[in-house]
Amino acid sequence: MKWINHQVVTGVIVYTVTEDLLFASFSMAGAIFPDKVEGNPRGGISFRKWRSRHRGWSHCPLIYLAFIGLLAKCQDASSLPGFFGSAAFLSLAETPIHLGIALGIGALLHIAEDSVCGKVPLLTPSRKVGIRLFTVGSITEYLFSLVVVLLCYAARTML
């Protein structure tokens, strides 16, 4: 999926669920993270090297689930030792933790969105799952994104 469609689909889904514009904005940043960390295929590394790493560890959902779980655990003051469990630290860290969770959710949605236009890792990069409903960059991809946006709009107006 193109980055613009990752951002639109992720942002609309997250805003539909949370009604939080800042949270949705950070999820949109997370929606390009798995591809961004792979580097630019036209950049300093060879295309072959980039291709061999594409949709590898960067697209492993367990990493983002662990990241979200760790941040969610940090929100619970009683679970943290010493200064990190203090009210002063938690009041400072509350917003960054919340927005970090948004980044992780955006990355997870990126992986889910990639799974409908190819294969992504399930548990490890060697075991990939997914279906190819459309080719990346095709008009079908844009129509798919439009349908998701319309479904979210319908959900917001009906609920």
Q: How far is the CB of 120 from Zn ion (least distance, A)?
A: 7
Beta strands 120-121 and 128-129 are antiparallel
Measured in degrees and rounded to the nearest 5, phi and psi for residue 128 equal: -110, 150
Stretch that binds Zn ion, among 11-19, 92-100, 114-122, 148-156 (CB under 5 A): 114-122
Q: How far is the CB of 111 from Zn ion (least distance, A)?
A: 7
Distance, first Cα to last Cα, the chain = 29
Q: Which residue has the tokens 């061999």?
A: 52
Q: How far is the CB of 54 from Zn ion (least distance, A)?
A: 8
- By CB under 5 A, the count of residues binding Zn ion is 3
Tell me the C-alpha distance between 135 and 138, whole Å.
Answer: 6
Contact 31, 106 (CB under 8 A): yes
Task: Measure Cα distances from 151 to 16, 75, 116, 144 in Å.
Answer: 10, 32, 17, 11
Q: Which one of residues 35, 60, 99, 103 is an interface residue with Zn ion (CB under 5 A)?
A: 35
User: By CB under 5 A, is residue 141 in contact with Zn ion?
Assistant: no
Complex with Zn ion: residue 96 or 137, whichever CB lies closer: 137
User: By CB under 5 A, is residue 114 in contact with Zn ion?
Assistant: yes
Q: How far is the CB of 129 from Zn ion (least distance, A)?
A: 14
Binding site for Zn ion (CB under 5 A): 34-35, 114
